[in-house]
Structure 1
Amino acid sequence: MEWALPLWTRGPAGRETPEDLFRVLYTGWLVAFAFKVLGASWDVSWHFKWLRDDLAPPHLLNSVGTAVALALTVVHLYTGYGVDRLAQRLIGWGTGVFLLAVPLDLINHRVNGLDITSWSPSHMLLYIGTLFMICGVIRGWYMGAPAGRTRTAVLGALFVFLFENVWFPAQHQEYGVFGLAAWDRGKPEAEPILLQFAADQMGRPVDRVMMANFTLPVPDAVYPLYAAAAAMIVLIVARAMIGRMFAATSVAAAYVAYRTLIWPLLAVAGFPHSAVPVFLIAGAVAVDLAFLIPIPVVRAVVGALGVTVVLDQALRVQNALFTSPPLVPPTTMLAGGVLLAALWLGVEWFARRRRPQVA
């Protein structure tokens, strides 16, 4: 208290921040995001086994991270410490959208029951709010942290959290493919009360059609296209901001390693299994190799083509060797490649026009 109270003064964003306070603030963000990721990982598995409950343990674990994030947001907004104006706005708006999405999601579940897919509007608001929040924290750390290994390591960790948040809705298909396979084996992973509730909501008996709609409710093309566009653009920005060779690969590998470690823990506890997206590492390697091309426009166009092809082939190899959500024709990935090229060109344009000055 003796250390903190003198710092509790109102001020504008960008004010000079004591080094120890800066370190405490961003350590707090790492803790907050760690709790949110652990809660989220448990949550998606929980919802493939049990009937939904507002006070389910995964929700409570996630709420611990949300509470820490809210406290840090208040500090940034009131004192102006640890952030510039843009970072402050991103954190503030992100936290606001997330907090607004929570009651909207509760109302949505009261009205629509399970709200089976991860891609529903209320769920997307949760991801979008967290996206802005993490982007603000990345901006604040990037602008304020002193150069060195710690700066690079923390920046990489923050991008892992960002990548996890962006990829989170795609986990529905990764759990769904195992859930449908378990049904076909005659050993469904979900509890009977959950299956009956889902069937009643669909107006069907508990049969394979109901199970397919429960486990894989979105078109098959969503998964690979989302991987090509959304997941890869996060890795592209990570590589550009971290500025180290194989930075994108490190971020993707760290996420896949986390999913690989959490998988047996959930399985031992009796929770449903999921397909771990190992193929994303191949796409990340392609992103890093594309940054060897010195001309930005060529890098974006050729890189997008190469990343899309590598990603598509790696997904097919994973499907053959292990398992993955259902495959789609290679031509379907062309749309993802075109979208990725447009996003990548936007990143290159923005980087050239508004490259921030690192502290």
Structure 2
Amino acid sequence: MAATITGRARDLYNTWWTRGEAPRPLPPAMLRNVYALWLIALTLKVLGSSWDVSWHFKWLRDDLAPPHLLNTAGTVLVVALVLFHSYTGYGVDRFTLRFMQAGVTIFLLAVPLDVINHRINGLDITAWSITHALLYLGTAVMLTGVVRGWWRYGPAGRLRTPVLGLLWLFVLENVWFPAGQQEYGVLAVAAWDRGEPQAEPILLQFAADQIGRPVDRASVLHFALPVADWVYPMWLVAAAGSVLVLARWMIGRPWAATAIAAGYLAYRCAMWLVLAGAGFPMSAVPFLLLGVAVAVDLAFAARVPDLARPVLGAVLAGLGGAGAAWLQAEWLVTPPIDYPTFLTGAIVLGLLWTAVLLAVRARAFTRWAALTPVR
């Protein structure tokens, strides 16, 4: 992979490193190379992030831990690509470029803030902290630019839709990433209850010392599951559901949302096997995402008036998410779930979906992206 990255980067630099203003067109083959580098960079970041959560449920935090270094390698490549687009203007328009630049800026500012936060507050294990949220926000804004860039300028052909789907998978992974706190946490508590804690003693002691308790079940709960039970179902339906709605709308293919969710779950299963084989803590894989994804695809397939689709989709997503959560809890394991919150999540999803639909009708997205992608 290193040789591939180096070769593609060298070709870009030697042939196309000339100053210019966006948008500047690239030949289709070269444009595919640019976005291939984006896919490599995002893959490195996702692999590092996935390993990072498991790492933090086993050992004390270390700024130079291997997962951080792997994520940093992806970030370095992302920064290089944004510099390439900014200097040359190739492969993007100015609006797309602003998303990329803003996202990278937020992410790079969040990194030292997160380090300082850990110096002050210690573990800060929860994935839902403010500094962690800034990291996700920066990544989300940057991904918005990458998705928009490929949708607008990606060459027609057999790779266009799969790449777009893969980019939306990265968006879903970024949005769903905070929920990993509960997915690892529920198994960490179960391991403690079995008398087989997965975390190293020094980590358990540190976590207990932070709240002035001995190492006991209460301290493990505070360390592993500090998030309220309503957060997980709300995030499932409202946040993940919104991503799947946007992905299905943009890709425009039947069962696109289900395919993206299934692809993400396949990745999570593969990482589960790798981490388990390496002796790292495991997570509860969120198969319940499929309930929401299928609901979104069914809503798009239904023959109903456009303004009724968000209502139908929200109802189906709430029911699909709750039903899938119940099945997973019966057959496997899920984080603690406050089931009435599925209704709240469905209401939020319906409102967001309706707002997007009305904005499209009012041409509020005209600047964001023309409804017909540019070839």
Fold shared, TM-score > 0.5 on shorter chain: yes
The answer to whether the Cα contact below 8 Å between 2:175 and 2:239 also exists between their aligned partners in 1 is yes
The answer to whether the Cα contact below 8 Å between 1:228 and 1:340 also exists between their aligned partners in 2 is yes
Q: Does 1:130 align with 2:145?
A: no
**Inter-partner Cα distance in structure 1 for 2:85 and 2:371:** 20
Q: Which moved more, 1:289-298 or 1:228-237?
A: 289-298
For each residue in 1:73-124, what CA deviation from the matched residue of structure 2 results, as whole angstroms up to 9, or x when unmatched?
0011111111112210100000010011111101110111001210001100
The equivalent of 1:211 in structure 2 is 220
Matched to 2:175, the amino acid is V
- Number of corresponding residues: 358
Q: How far off its partner does 1:146 sit?
A: 2.2
The equivalent of 2:264 in structure 1 is 255
Q: Does 1:278 align with 2:287?
A: yes
54, 59, 65: which one aligns with 1:50: 59
The equivalent of 2:332 in structure 1 is 322
116, 122, 128: which one aligns with 2:125: 116
Q: How far off its partner does 1:356 sit?
A: 3.0
**Inter-partner Cα distance in structure 2 for 1:183 and 1:32:** 36
Q: How far off its partner does 1:21 sit?
A: 2.6
Name structure 1 gaps, 5 residues minimum. Answer: none
The 5 Å alignment of 1:20-169 reads 20-169=29-178
**Inter-partner Cα distance in structure 2 for 1:108 and 1:94:** 20
**Inter-partner Cα distance in structure 2 for 1:169 and 1:261:** 19
**Inter-partner Cα distance in structure 1 for 2:360 and 2:74:** 32
Matched to 1:300, the amino acid is P
SS at match of 1:4: helix
**Inter-partner Cα distance in structure 2 for 1:68 and 1:150:** 22
Q: Does 1:303 align with 2:313?
A: yes
Q: How far off its partner does 1:49 sit?
A: 0.2
The answer to whether the Cα contact below 8 Å between 2:258 and 2:294 also exists between their aligned partners in 1 is yes
SS at match of 2:159: helix
Return closer, same or farther for 1:193/1:357 CA change in 2, 3 Å cut-off: same
**Inter-partner Cα distance in structure 1 for 2:38 and 2:225:** 34
Matched to 1:351, the amino acid is V
The equivalent of 1:197 in structure 2 is 206
Return closer, same or farther for 1:3/1:267 CA change in 2, 3 Å cut-off: closer
Matched to 2:106, the amino acid is V
For each residue in 1:227-246, what CA deviation from the matched residue of structure 2 results, as whole angstroms up to 9, or x when unmatched?
01000100100000011000
Shift >4 Å, 4+ stretches: none
The answer to whether the Cα contact below 8 Å between 2:28 and 2:155 also exists between their aligned partners in 1 is no
The answer to whether the Cα contact below 8 Å between 1:143 and 1:356 also exists between their aligned partners in 2 is no
Q: Which moved more, 1:50-59 or 1:80-89?
A: 80-89
Q: How far off its partner does 1:6 sit?
A: 4.7
**Inter-partner Cα distance in structure 1 for 2:296 and 2:104:** 30
**Inter-partner Cα distance in structure 2 for 1:203 and 1:91:** 43
For each residue in 1:133-183, what CA deviation from the matched residue of structure 2 results, as whole angstroms up to 9, or x when unmatched?
111000000000122321001000000111001100001000000000000
Name structure 2 gaps, 5 residues minimum. Answer: 1-9
**Inter-partner Cα distance in structure 2 for 1:249 and 1:323:** 21
